[in-house]
Amino acid sequence: MTEPNQPRGPIGGEGARSLTADAIARLVGGTVRGDGSAAASGIGPLDRASSTDLSFLASARYADAVASSRASIILVSPELTDVPGPAAARVVVAKPHEALLSLIPHFYPSTIPAATGIHPSAVIGRGAVLGTGVSIGAHSVIGDAAVLGDGIVIEANAVVGAGATIGAGSVLWPGVVIYPRVEIGKRVFIHAGARIGSDGFGYVFADGMHRKIPHIGGCIIEDDVEIGANTTIDRGSIDDTVIGAGTKIDNLVHIGHNVRIGRLCLVMAQVGISGSARIADGVILAGQAGIGGHTSIGKGARIAGQAGVFGDVPAGESWSGYPARPHRESLRATAALFKLSGIMKRLERMLDKTS
């Protein structure tokens, strides 16, 4: 369908902005090799860049791609300055990746949804309070007595429950559901289909059936959190579920009832955090890791992908494996296991001899 090497225009059809290699070098504090008047109007990876693109080389691993790249300008790190290739200009800079990120706003408009006002099909509940500049997309529903801060953008088909509060500058992509009374801070970004404040999984077995525990607790998302697509965060049963300021959560993550996550954590895709777990500040949970109920993960700890954590993890440690252990122990155990399968027959023979 799409030609992979067609020119990559700026997003949204707005007028392209072009920068010369000289201008780029000034912006990122780098030096030009080649034609300083060479220009770029977009950004692309080496193998997909067009002749009007800026690209970058930050690792020797991808050096071969420079020779066949059509990019007009390439950001390179000092030790890779002389990798052969046809680009009209190179800009030598200590950290090409960070330099590139700083250049994105010069080429592309923001990817955060813009304010568009309140669509006539949106339904606003009784007593809802809307700040200035709030945008609400088509077919979205705002519950009774909800409070929306200034400049919030809510896209199409989202639902904000009764009594929920959302702080200024937050963004809800399409189809997000916020349950009643959830409290969301400022500048919180919530991607499509995330569900915030659903009832937790709590039952008491009585009279021959699992009786549902009413979930009267809160669900508090602090400032500057980002929540990925289709992620689910349950409200508390009696306690609250709390996500600390600046924590970033990826897609399809499950966070159970009464969980408290600290500040500045990174929770990657498909992680599951069971009820009442405590995650301290600055923790990193890699993809598909599972955190058991009522466990504590200490400050700055790192949990590897798919790790299964069934007990507490001390601050600052890296754990992996299933069941999870300190990463070095897991590595040693895995290494021993694969050695074992090579020596098993000899071991059994030896046991037969000696016993």
- Active site (catalytic) residues: 257
Q: Supply 336's token pair.
A: 């021993």
By CB under 8 A, name the one of 63, 130, 156, 315 that touches a second copy. Answer: 156
3-class state of residue 100 by DSSP: helix
Q: Measured from the CB of residue 4, what is the shortest distance to a second copy in angstroms?
A: 8
3-class state of residue 260 by DSSP: strand
CB of 67 or CB of 101, closer to a second copy: 101
Site residues for a second copy, window 178-237 (CB under 8 A)? 179-181, 183, 185-186, 189, 191-193, 195, 198-199, 201, 203-204, 209-210, 212-216, 218, 220, 222-224, 226, 228-230, 232, 234
Contact call for residues 54 and 24 (beta carbons, < 8 A): yes
H/E stretch holding 141 reads strand 141-142
Neighbours of 138 (CB within 10 A): 14
Q: Residue 150 interacts with a second copy (CB under 8 A)?
A: no
Q: Measured from the CB of residue 213, what is the shortest distance to a second copy in angstroms?
A: 6
Q: Measured from the CB of residue 239, what is the shortest distance to a second copy in angstroms?
A: 4
The 324-343 site mask, x for binding a second copy (CB under 8 A), equals -x---x--xxxxxxxxxx-x
Q: Residue 27 interacts with a second copy (CB under 8 A)?
A: no
Q: Residue 2 interacts with a second copy (CB under 8 A)?
A: yes
Tell me how many residues contact a second copy (CB under 8 A): 123
What DSSP state is assigned to residue 262? -
* Residue located via tokens 């409200």: 235
What number of CA atoms fall less than 13 Å from residue 135's CA on the CB side? 18
Neighbours of 323 (CB within 10 A): 12
Residue 288: name the closest of 340, 334, 252, 328 by CA. Answer: 252
- Near a second copy by CB under 8 A, which window of 17-25, 26-34, 78-86, 322-330? 322-330
Compute CA 259 distance to the chain's CA centroid, rounded to the nearest angstrom: 19
Q: Residue 129 interacts with a second copy (CB under 8 A)?
A: no
Q: Measured from the CB of residue 92, what is the shortest distance to a second copy in angstroms?
A: 19
